[in-house]
Amino acid sequence: MPIAVENVSYTYLPGTPFEHRALKDVSFTIADGEFVGIIGHTGSGKSTLIQIISSLIPQTAGRVLIDGVDYSQKDADKKKLRRTVGVVFQYPEYQLFEETIAKDIAYGPRMTGIPEEELENRTQVAMELVGMDYETYKDKSPFELSGGQKRKIAIAGVLAMEPKILIMDEPIAGLDPLGRESLMDLVKNLNDCGMTILMISHNMDGLAEYASRILVMNQGELMMNGTPREVFREHEALRAAGLDLPEAGQLVEALRAKGIAISEENIRFDEVKEELIRMLGGKAHD
């Protein structure tokens, strides 16, 4: 299920005083099984881009192909798209509504006509994937859970559709540090199972750690498209686009400014740590 975004543009409120070109001629492709991060300043066009990829709004120009199919065409099988591409919006827990957790998770697949006997199985698998025990939680109200748990249930609802591609808009916003870590691990696991991940995030450290590729959006344009290492060594360009380096990168930059020869290639916590241990003569771990 590769994704091809070809020369996509989008204009909000065309012909009004508020006309705004949110996307300008954006092109890229995503192969199966990739973990792609999308970063960009507020208003850079990130959210518009994922809404177009998931066919929630039609592009003004260009096209998006998912597995070769242009779902913006009138006769396209939108149901198939909804089964293929799962979207987790910001604060997805606000969408929980059912009496029990199991019912909430099963809602999507039930609406697409999945038979009852398969629903239970799908719900169980989805809960296992997000690390919530089926027997313990299935009959509880989703509103009794903590913020981080609610979010996992909302994500399980999307996973129960068995999507091949998972699109997420800042999934860790509002979570505490352990909640953030556990959610990033969850997404990493889904990716390891073969799911293609497309994630908008401000969490540069998480993306430096897990993403295979990063798209940098700036004022509606795709400014960079490369591996985390390629992207995060462009300090000046990122700053100009209103973005920060990962914490590890910031430390490396500050050390280099003091004349310490640490490689700019280090963008992850463990890489910086190992190099500092070598430089300062400690005992490196294997």
Partner 1 sequence: MEDFVRTQGVTYSYTSEEGDVNFALNGVDITVKKGSFAVILGHNGSGKSTFAKLLNALSLPTGGKVWIDGMDTADAERTFEIRGSVGMVFQNPDNQLVATVVDEDVAFGPENLGVPQPEIVERVEQALTAVNMLKYKKRAPHMLSGGQKQRIAIAGALAMHPKMIVLDEATAMLDPRGRKKILEIVTRLNREEGITIVLITHFMEEAVDADQVIVLSDGQVLCQGTPHEILTDQAMLKKAGLLPPFAAQMAMELREAGIPIAQTCITTRELVEEICRLQ
By the criterion CB under 8 A, which residues form the site for partner 1?
A: 18, 41-43, 146-148, 173-179, 181, 202, 204-205, 242-244, 247-248, 250-251, 254-255, 258, 260, 269, 272-273, 276-277, 279-285
Judged by beta carbon, residue 106 or residue 252, the one nearer partner 1 is: 252
Q: Give the residue from 216, 114, 104 showing the smallest Cα distance to 153.
A: 104
**DSSP SS3 for 38:** strand
**Nearest approach, Cβ of 128 to partner 1 (angstroms)?**
22
Judged by beta carbon, residue 225 or residue 250, the one nearer partner 1 is: 250
Bridge partners of 141, per DSSP, are none
Within 13 Å of residue 262, how many CA atoms lie on the same side as its CB? 24
**Nearest approach, Cβ of 73 to partner 1 (angstroms)?**
33
119-140 in b/e form (b: 16+ CB < 10 A) is: beebbbebbebbebebeebbeb
**Nearest approach, Cβ of 47 to partner 1 (angstroms)?**
12
- Token readout for 50 is 């994922």
**Nearest approach, Cβ of 92 to partner 1 (angstroms)?**
14
Q: HEC profile for 151-182? A: HHHHHHHHHCCCCCEEEEECCCCCCCHHHHHH
Judged by beta carbon, residue 179 or residue 226, the one nearer partner 1 is: 179
Whether residue 3 contacts residue 30, with contact meaning beta carbons closer than 8 Å, is answered with yes
d(CA 114, CA 108): 9
**Nearest approach, Cβ of 224 to partner 1 (angstroms)?**
17
Quote helix, strand, coil % in the chain, to nearest 5: 40, 20, 35
Judged by beta carbon, residue 56 or residue 254, the one nearer partner 1 is: 254
Judged by beta carbon, residue 199 or residue 204, the one nearer partner 1 is: 204
Strands 3-12, 20-30: pairing kind: antiparallel
- Phi, psi of 210, rounded to the nearest 5 degrees: -110, -30
Judged by beta carbon, residue 114 or residue 272, the one nearer partner 1 is: 272
Judged by beta carbon, residue 4 or residue 251, the one nearer partner 1 is: 251
**Nearest approach, Cβ of 99 to partner 1 (angstroms)?**
12
**Nearest approach, Cβ of 276 to partner 1 (angstroms)?**
6
- Phi, psi of 284, rounded to the nearest 5 degrees: -70, 145
